[in-house]
Amino acid sequence: KKTLFSGMQATGTLTLGNYLGALKNWVALEEEYQCFYCVVDLHSITVRQDPAELRKRARALLTLYIAAGLNPEKNCIYYQSHVSGHAELSWILNCFTYMGELNRMTQFKDKSAKHADNINAGLYTYPVLMAADILLFQSDVVPVGSDQKQHLEITRDIAERFNGIYGDVFTIPEPYIGKQGARIMSLQDPEKKMSKSDENANASIYLMDDTDTIIRKFKRAVTDSDNEIHYSEDKPGIRNLIDIYAATTGKSISDIEKEFANTGYGDFKLAVGEAVADLLKPIQDRFEELQKDKAYIDGIIKANAEKANYYSLKTLRKVQKKVGFPERI
Ligand code: TYM
């Protein structure tokens, strides 16, 4: 089997964007690959976190992976901080990454504008840690939303550079970006990505929002002034709602346009809200159930950390040898 790797940050509560852009595809691909699904808590501390809150969110995220349908017995669902190989490989790869490359990362530019009081070195080398995550498991495919594309490109560049010097050490990973839902936009400003960290709670659908909240947020979604359900560049609000509906129901854009040809925005918004609520409800119910079963989740955490450690060490030892570190006696 080929290997799949992906991860999410345990910062804030997951949004519908995280689900439709990534998590949904993870579930769809899990049978085909040997999968590693990571809660990337090392990445989270690139911005200041409250320790108790981070711990709580990391556990909730890990539980949510399972609630969304990932099988923790077949796949490796684990915390990045439990596998020291991530940090060790990241250091080595830092020495094979140019500052010029990191200077071009748009996410770093965005985040340093937002956290101007804390532009730390971790924020700067964030993409190198991400490359280490992926390369540590010799991953073939990395399912992500389109905002992570640039990080996948630098990962490939670093891997190719390393292989060019030392021979075929790393598998060169391919991004997997779904046709639908790869970039879900804010409901309040459809020119902006839907984001966990948006201050306006109406801008994002959170995975734990209840049905009424979801429907209310869609009703209030910003759209243009005409009233036609038509997918077009100059109608970013309605385009986003069509994208969400398509990714949620699996229907094609042209079928959706036909289905709602004789209705207005109000009815369409309600249909989108209901479809999204129906999609999320079973996940929320499973999440509540799983959260109660502390022993089960603890067991998953322990077993999968061991498994991830085992696989990570295979790559790490090889890399350490290649760069010239002394043998372990
Ligand atoms: P993060 O935590 O910001 O997002 C997790 C996943 O959700 C996708 N996503 C979206 N997709 C569609 N529309 C949106 N509005 C939207 N917002 C987020 C992201 O593309 C991502 O797939 N750096 C990564 C975490 C990471 C990682 C990795 C991912 C660390 N190491 C290794 C893959 C492989 C991040 O911050 O994702």
pLDDT cut 90: percent of the chain above it: 95
Banded model confidence at residue 59, pLDDT cuts 50, 70, 90: very high
- Nearest atom in ligand 1 to 143's CA: 22
Say whether 232 counts as a known binding-site residue: no
Tell me how crowded residue 179 is: count the other CB atoms within 10 A of its CB. 7
- Segment 107-131 shows an average pLDDT of 95
- Rounded to whole angstroms, the Cα distance separating 121 from 264 reads 50
- pLDDT on residue 54: 97
Say whether 145 counts as a known binding-site residue: yes
- Rounded to whole angstroms, the Cα distance separating 122 from 141 reads 25
The one catalytic residue in 24, 111, 217, 269 is 111
**pLDDT averaged over every residue in the chain:** 96
- pLDDT on residue 13: 85
Quote the tokens at residue 267.
């009815």
Say whether 139 counts as a known binding-site residue: no
Task: Determine the residue type at 131.
Answer: A
Whether 173 lines ligand 1, by a CB cut-off of 6 Å, is: no
Q: Give the SS3 label for residue 252.
A: coil
Whether 9 lines ligand 1, by a CB cut-off of 6 Å, is: yes
- pLDDT on residue 190: 96
- pLDDT on residue 147: 96
Give pLDDT tens digits for 267-291. Answer: 999 999 999 999 999 999 999 999 9
Return phi, psi of residue 78, to 5°.
-155, 170
- Rounded to whole angstroms, the Cα distance separating 20 from 183 reads 9
Whether the per-residue pLDDT at 62 is higher than 80: the answer is: yes
Active site residue 196: yes
Active site residue 114: no
Whether 183 lines ligand 1, by a CB cut-off of 6 Å, is: yes
Spell out the residues 6+ positions from residue 34 whose beta carbon is closer than 8 angstroms to its own: 1, 2, 3, 4, 75
- Rounded to whole angstroms, the Cα distance separating 103 from 163 reads 23
Closest protein CA for atom 19 of ligand 1: 145
- pLDDT on residue 262: 92
Active site residue 2: no
Banded model confidence at residue 12, pLDDT cuts 50, 70, 90: confident
- Segment 222-245 shows an average pLDDT of 94
Give pLDDT tens digits for 125-183. Answer: 999 999 999 999 999 999 999 999 999 999 999 999 999 999 999 999 999 999 999 99
Cβ-contact 211, 281 below 8 angstroms: yes
Of the candidates 183, 246, 194, which has an alpha carbon nearest to the alpha carbon of residue 221?
Answer: 194
User: What is the DSSP annotation of 72-137?
Assistant: TTTSEEEEGGG-THHHHHHHHHHTTS-HHHHHT-HHHHHHHHHTTT---HHHHSHHHHHHHHHHHT
C-alpha 256 to ligand 1 mean position (Å): 27
Say whether 17 counts as a known binding-site residue: yes
Give pLDDT tens digits for 78-101. Answer: 999 999 999 999 999 999 999 999
Whether 43 lines ligand 1, by a CB cut-off of 6 Å, is: yes
C-alpha 143 to ligand 1 mean position (Å): 9
Whether 198 lines ligand 1, by a CB cut-off of 6 Å, is: no
Whether the per-residue pLDDT at 301 is higher than 80: the answer is: yes
Say whether 264 counts as a known binding-site residue: no
Task: Say which residue the tokens 């699996």 belong to.
Answer: 250
Whether 130 lines ligand 1, by a CB cut-off of 6 Å, is: yes
- Rounded to whole angstroms, the Cα distance separating 252 from 191 reads 22
Whether the per-residue pLDDT at 197 is higher than 90: the answer is: no
Whether the per-residue pLDDT at 240 is higher than 90: the answer is: yes
User: How many Å is the maximal CA-CA distance in the chain?
Assistant: 75
Give pLDDT tens digits for 244-258. Answer: 999 999 999 999 999
Whether 5 lines ligand 1, by a CB cut-off of 6 Å, is: yes
Whether 144 lines ligand 1, by a CB cut-off of 6 Å, is: yes
Half-sphere exposure of 110 (CA within 13 A, CB side): 8
Banded model confidence at residue 11, pLDDT cuts 50, 70, 90: confident
- Rounded to whole angstroms, the Cα distance separating 231 from 228 reads 9
- Nearest atom in ligand 1 to 40's CA: 30
Return phi, psi of residue 51, to 5°.
-55, -45
- Nearest atom in ligand 1 to 146's CA: 20
The one catalytic residue in 2, 56, 196, 235 is 196
Say whether 321 counts as a known binding-site residue: no
Mutate to test the pocket of ligand 1, among 8, 64, 76, 276 (most ligand atoms within 8 A of CB): 8
